[in-house]
Amino acid sequence: MLRDDDVVLVISNAPDLLLAKRIAHVLVEDGLAACVNLGAPGLSIYMWKGEVEGAEEIPIHIKTTYARHQAVVQALAQMHPYDVPEIIVLPVIGGAAPYLDWVREQTAVTQNKRD
């Protein structure tokens, strides 16, 4: 069972760079994520409504805490245009202690809330 201050990685994607940047800014400005990495566009191949589809997408990696992950999931779902956006939450089982502490500090409830 994860504790509220455990660091988690949320993986998602966006159909274009503009939306990916908007998602990243909102999550960081709202204090829901300490850092959001946007990757290079890549081709995703998937089955959708019985057909094989392909789309270029921007990978998104979001560093946050377990306490904040549900708010991150909700924000992603609201901002994302897909009917079923990829949103996966993975536990972080280790890392550099100063970095993990920084993630916790940046996502503390009193941090970086936009009005």
pLDDT at 59: 98
| pTM across the whole model | 0.93
Q: Is residue 111 part of a domain?
A: no
Residue 83, in any domain of the structure? yes
pLDDT digits (tens, 9 = 90+) for 6-17: 999 999 999 999
Residue 111, pLDDT > 60, answer no
Structural domain including 64 reads: 7-106
Q: Confirm whether 112 is domain-assigned.
A: no
Residue 2 in domain: no
Task: Specify the number of domains making up the chain.
Answer: 1
Q: 99 pLDDT exceeds 70?
A: yes
68-91 as b/e: b if 16+ CB within 10 A: bbebbbebbeeebeeeeebbebee
- Tens digits of per-residue pLDDT, 70-79? 999 999 999 9
- Give the domain CATH number at 76: 3.30.70.120
pLDDT of amino acid 79: 97
What distance in Å separates the CA atoms of residue 41 and residue 54, rounded to the nearest whole number?
Answer: 13
